[in-house]
Amino acid sequence: MDLQLTGRRVLVTGASRGIGLEVVRAALAEGARVVATARRTTPELEATGATFVAADLATADGPRLLLEEVLEQDPHLDVLVNNAGGGSADPGSLADPVDGDDDTWADTLALNLLAAVRTTRAALPALLAARGAVVNVGSDSARRSMAAPLPYTAAKAALAAFSRGLAEKVGPRGVRVNTVSPGGTRTPLLVGPDGFGAQLAGALGVDHDALVAGMAQQNGMLTGELVDPAEIARTVLLLASPAMPSAIGQNWAVDAGSVKVA
């Protein structure tokens, strides 16, 4: 299947590892021109050959400064993939009914919601000119609020609502907005020694490998396996593709059946 992405310019946030890195690789394999951004690059990202622009999207000015640099290099932009996100496990927050203090909530919302809102705002004039696409990477935890800390689940639920509302506003003007909501995915965030999974295991006093091994079954994933990030990348590119002109305002779950309601 030709995704019609050859020569199209794609901006991927949170691109240094995990799902973002796989989106970069997949987009390049489709012939796209890829700009990748993260706070810092990695050897794996550098090996792709994608153009890298450093940015901290959790800051108020980070998205605007990023798009100024990206569009100064080339004013054309076809696709924005808002993948930047993540979280941390504060041992002290586990006993807190709302899972963290004001700073924890502010930091989590800034990275998982406001980064996408601000980056989309800054990119929208170029995307409107190109009649392009926005794909936001959400999470199944937006519909399974017991599955992750409340600040993260609330942010991802808000991201889904933002995506649907924005699709209504800009769809008639030629920009398609959609969301991909992965289930537990085998990324450094979960399986890495310094990621959220390791922090959570430490906070709970359990073995990290054992926590990861049981995660798919505990989350009700029917495959019994965490999702491969390359599968998420393929879904992102399908929604970004001009070959899917009627996919607008959708939230595609790639969660191995972890969400049990329609």
The span from the CA of 172 to the CA of 28, in Å, is 29
Query: In 10 A of CB 252, how many CB atoms?
Result: 18
Name the token pair of 214.
């049981």
Active-site position among 52, 105, 152, 196: 152
The angle at the Cα of 56, spanning 53 to 59, to the nearest 5 degrees, equals 140
Asked whether 148 and 100 are in contact (CB, 8 A), the reply is: no
Length of the chain: 262
* Whether residue 152 lies in the annotated active site: yes
Backbone angles phi, psi at 7, to 5 degrees: 80, -10
233 CB contacts (<8 Å, ≥6 apart)?
19, 22, 23, 25, 26
Q: In what order do the strands lie in the sheet with 33-38?
A: 51-54, 33-38, 9-12, 79-82, 133-137, 176-182, 251-254
Note the helical H segments in 91-149. Answer: 102-109, 115-130
Q: Tell me the residue type at 22.
A: E
Active site residues: 152
